[in-house]
Amino acid sequence: MSRLKELRKYVDEELNKIEDADKRTSAIAHLYGVSLAATLIAKKRGLNPEIAAMAAMLHDLYAYKSGSYDDHAHKGAYLAGDILEELNLTDDAETEEICSAIYHHDDKLVTDGPMDEVLKDADVIDHCLKDSSKPVKEKEQVRFDKLCSEFGI
Ligand SMILES: [Fe+2]
Ligand SMILES: [Fe+2]
């Protein structure tokens, strides 16, 4: 089994504990949507698509488990570190790269490291394209416009 598949198996089990069916569906759709977008963006930028996808699968897990978005990026980075240590799928540098991306993913108005930016952009793509009839949020507009020009859309 690939390590991405192994991580998804773990995340799926956690998401399946969400009792509310609508919340469960939207959590699954978001993590898989961001994971696909992160893969695409990482490939385009010459970064590791597997690490990007793994970061995406974990990025909002803390919020879904706790039911709160309060400081979920920072708390989620620590949760991701614990999960990756338990699953033993990544080396120290990869764990650090994934946790850093999750730690910074809510800071959409500043620019961080290359993999941090992949996760932020993937999150924005999922927010903006899962229902393109909805207006883009003000705090995501600049980032979304840059992505559209990067991808020629
Ligand atoms: Fe988030
Ligand atoms: Fe997200």
Identify which ligand lies nearest to the alpha carbon of 33. 2
CATH of the domain at 122: 1.10.3210.10
pLDDT digits (tens, 9 = 90+) for 92-126: 999 999 999 999 999 999 999 999 999 999 999 99
Identify which ligand lies nearest to the alpha carbon of 38. 2
Residue 59 Cα to ligand 2 midpoint, Å, equals 6
Number of domains in the chain: 1
Query: Using 50, 70 and 90 to split pLDDT, how confident is the model at 82?
Result: very high
Residue 20 Cα to ligand 2 midpoint, Å, equals 18
pLDDT at residue number 29: 98
CB 66 within 8 A of CB 80: no
pLDDT at residue number 67: 94
| Residue 34, domain extent | 3-150
Identify which ligand lies nearest to the alpha carbon of 105. 1
pLDDT at residue number 114: 98
Cα 55 from Cα 101, distance rounded (Å): 7
Q: Is the pTM of this model over 0.75?
A: yes
pLDDT digits (tens, 9 = 90+) for 9-63: 999 999 999 999 999 999 999 999 999 999 999 999 999 999 999 999 999 999 9
What length is written for the chain?
Answer: 153
Residue 93 Cα to ligand 2 midpoint, Å, equals 23
pLDDT at residue number 1: 85
